[in-house]
A = this chain, B = another copy of it.
């Protein structure tokens, strides 16, 4: 190794002492009074909700009201070497909010204001606790919307931290493309703003994109500037049945490749169709489906729909049922967003192992079909839904947590899926993030050198490893 080799030291991963934690709790109590909670029930609620990973509660939960208050929390934690774990709505799926070393959960419940809307610039500034539905309710009167929509009504802070996307990403991009700037409190308590409001800039390192997807490991995001979009003049939604999964995937691939600017194109396999029929009172034929949406002018939406219909017919799909009525569209997409809850009803009492991968679209059909074969072989109840226009799909494996063989089986299946996606030049997670659950796949995906570079950056910005430790980077901590 030459002299210039970046030194990558293993990070500190030690629980703080009891005294350190007590000092932090006392400091928080003195500063924040009844906005500090230490009851086990509340701490457990802040550790894990929708994941299968073991619950690792923080030592204390605090509810700040401002960036300055977050600075005070972080400085107090830095002084005593106690971890800081940001918390939005707790709807992440890979153990992002678990506290394997204990520490302080910083809940953004009360930092839920839309601070500025610059309608002329198509942007806005929000606090991290604002949820996506809240934001869109706020914007609707001005003819604007924010497109990113993970299934849950997640917080903008959490969505930024996990580089979330959702059904509209195929047209509007992910959080990476829709965050202009973040304000964040660094590990040393100082505040940075990563960019100004100009639509583009070449002025220095892209700290904005570095924070998007950093899952709280580089600092605590306290403000986000978002791109907005005009509500399209015309919106048309459709459900389109297919004879086979292969046909639905092929139609998706052809739609994307022919440049139709589809706003949403979502796959539901037969198991998911059954689940959604039951949970969301739909009446879909029990066959694979695409849910679609087109945005534009009246003329362009009609043109897009016509072109899609031709493609669908070629792939053994259709006829589509179209609607432009807002209430019917809302019902359709609510059903799509409720897929996680509908899956759980397939097997009451089961836990959902929700996982996602993303592959180049040319490999989509192959990846989905091999996964279907695995589901059969492993005898799993596991619906597939996906943002297939991006090559991204989800599998929800319904597991009886009291049956160790079943749990082991599900883990093997998920591992095979992640490795399959990586082998196809894809990623072990298209949108859920790494958290604790997917750390083990990152070396296969990025290689040791890239992981070392990430670790070097983490150490440069958080030398004490207090910012959400045990997430993203190679770690001795685990919740499995």
Contact B196 A422 (CB under 8 A): yes
Contact B391 A198 (CB under 8 A): yes
CB < 8 Å: which of B123, B209, B362 contacts A210?
Answer: B209
Given A3-B464, A426-B197: A449 and B205 interface contact (C-beta under 8 Å): no
Given A253-B120, A425-B197: A5 and B188 interface contact (C-beta under 8 Å): yes
Contact A472 B79 (CB under 8 A): no
CB < 8 Å: which of B206, B450, B459 contacts A176?
Answer: B206
Judge if A348 is at the interface, Cβ distance under 8 Å: no
State in angstroms the CA–CA spacing of A445 and B196 once bound together: 8
Contact B472 A205 (CB under 8 A): yes
Judge if A214 is at the interface, Cβ distance under 8 Å: yes
Binds B, one of A37-45, A106-114, A161-169, A333-341: A161-169
> What residues on B are CB-neighbors of A174 within 8 Å?
200
Give chain B nearest CB distance to A430 CB in angstroms: 5
> What residues on B are CB-neighbors of A4 within 8 Å?
78, 187-189, 462-464, 466
Contact B188 A2 (CB under 8 A): yes
Give chain B nearest CB distance to A139 CB in angstroms: 14
Judge if A257 is at the interface, Cβ distance under 8 Å: yes
Give chain B nearest CB distance to A267 CB in angstroms: 15
Judge if A469 is at the interface, Cβ distance under 8 Å: no
Contact A203 B445 (CB under 8 A): yes
Considering only residues 410-453 of chain A, those with a C-beta below 8 Å from chain B are 421-422, 425-434, 438, 441-442, 445-447, 449-453
> What residues on B are CB-neighbors of A458 within 8 Å?
205
Give chain B nearest CB distance to A227 CB in angstroms: 11
Binds B, one of A48-56, A61-69, A353-361, A372-380: A353-361
- Name 24 A/B residue pairs within 8 A (Cβ), A-sorted: A2-B79, A6-B463, A118-B360, A120-B253, A190-B449, A193-B446, A194-B450, A196-B426, A198-B426, A198-B430, A199-B391, A200-B431, A202-B429, A202-B433, A204-B213, A204-B442, A204-B451, A205-B213, A205-B214, A206-B210, A207-B450, A210-B457, A453-B461, A460-B460
Assuming A192-B453, A198-B427, what are 17 further A-B pairs, CB within 8 angstroms? Answer: A2-B79, A2-B189, A6-B461, A121-B362, A163-B202, A164-B202, A177-B177, A196-B427, A196-B445, A201-B427, A202-B427, A203-B427, A203-B434, A204-B434, A457-B460, A457-B461, A459-B460
Binding site for B on A (CB under 8 A): 1-7, 75, 78-79, 81, 118, 120-123, 162-165, 169, 173-174, 176-177, 186-207, 209-210, 212-214, 218, 229-230, 232, 253, 256-259, 296-297, 299-300, 303, 358-362, 390-392, 421-422, 425-434, 438, 441-442, 445-447, 449-454, 456-464, 466, 472
